[in-house]
Amino acid sequence: MKPQRFALTPGEPAGIGPDLCLLLASQAQPYPLIAITSRDLLAERATQLGVAVKLLPVSPDAFPDKPAEPGSLYVWDTPLAHQAVAGKLDKANAAFVLETLTRAGQGCLDGHFAGMITAPVHKGVINESGIAFSGHTEFLAELTNTAQVVMMLATRGLRVALVTTHLPLRDVADAITVERLERVTRILHADLQQKFGIARPRILVCGLNPHAGEGGHLGREEIDIIEPTLERLRAEGMDLRGPLPADTLFTPKYLEHCDAVLAMYHDQGLPVLKFKGFGAALNVTLGLPIIRTSVDHGTALDLAGTGRIDTGSLQVALETAYQMAETRL
């Protein structure tokens, strides 16, 4: 059996990603965890934070088989274009960020890593550099030649996947099509089985409209699109409940008996999840041939280099990636 190694990308070098990696190094890990970033960046940020971390160089020719000792961190050195200053974006380092993601993603495809965990990137500065970039999800989908992926956020006791993601609210209803809903539901169901080890996932599905359309009086998407699609998938054996009104679905009566919620749009499901799991939630990209988890927060430029950060989200992202990899063994 190949050793289970994991790649960790710190994201935007001016943000809190490098800080998170360094603080995490104080904790024992069950598997080798390799930070793909600039060794100089980590050394400088460690000095700024006043933390002592032993940076252990690794290369693709000699990846470690054993976890690093607490207080140490494996680093696959990836040079910066310019020295990074905590809190100050520099578009010259945009290509560096994408190179770390490429190394991690390709390493997963090649079997060097069992999964990858990502700290936050800054989409704006990457685009300002002249590189078109929509986000981790789209970048990894292209890298792995994956046609359709699904965003799911999770915290202890709740998983929420999205049919649509970053769309203006006025465009959401048009984007809820039979084809999209079916694709997303199939991916969610399959990954709950294959990556989370749930033999028969029970999925609660939100309606789009208030009161799930109120029998057509508040919109017909439930009648014309959502219910017929769910009924067809139920006939294949999927355990799908809904469409249910979102304002009653997110209550203990329903949530204690489900494995995931499928929300129709971003702000329908994620506010509830982030309230429940503030500081301890993560992002999982479903549908990829690799395991990828991420923190659920941004680059926090104002906190970079201060030490006033919480590693809770990154720790949950790590634990989930480990569990997913163990399930797939």
77 with 35: CB under 8 angstroms? no
**What is the Cα–Cα distance from 304 to 301, expressed in whole angstroms?**
5
Cis before 243 (ω within 30): yes
266 is in an annotated binding site: yes
Q: Is 209 annotated as a binding residue?
A: no
283 is in an annotated binding site: yes
Q: Classify 171 as helix, strand or coil.
A: helix
Q: How many residues belong to the chain?
A: 329
Q: Is 137 annotated as a binding residue?
A: yes
CB atoms within 10 A of CB 254: 15
User: How far is it, in rounded angstroms, from Cα 20 to Cα 17?
Assistant: 5
**Contact, 15 vs 118, CB < 8 A?**
no
Contact 172, 164 (CB under 8 A): yes
Q: How many CB atoms lie within 10 A of CB 151?
A: 23
Compute how many other C-beta atoms are within 10 angstroms of the C-beta atom of residue 208. Answer: 25
CA distance 84 to 100: 15
Q: Residue ranges for the binding site for substrate?
A: 136-137, 274, 283, 292
Q: Residue ranges for the binding site?
A: 136-137, 166, 211, 266, 274, 283, 292
Residues at the annotated binding site for a divalent metal cation? 166, 211, 266
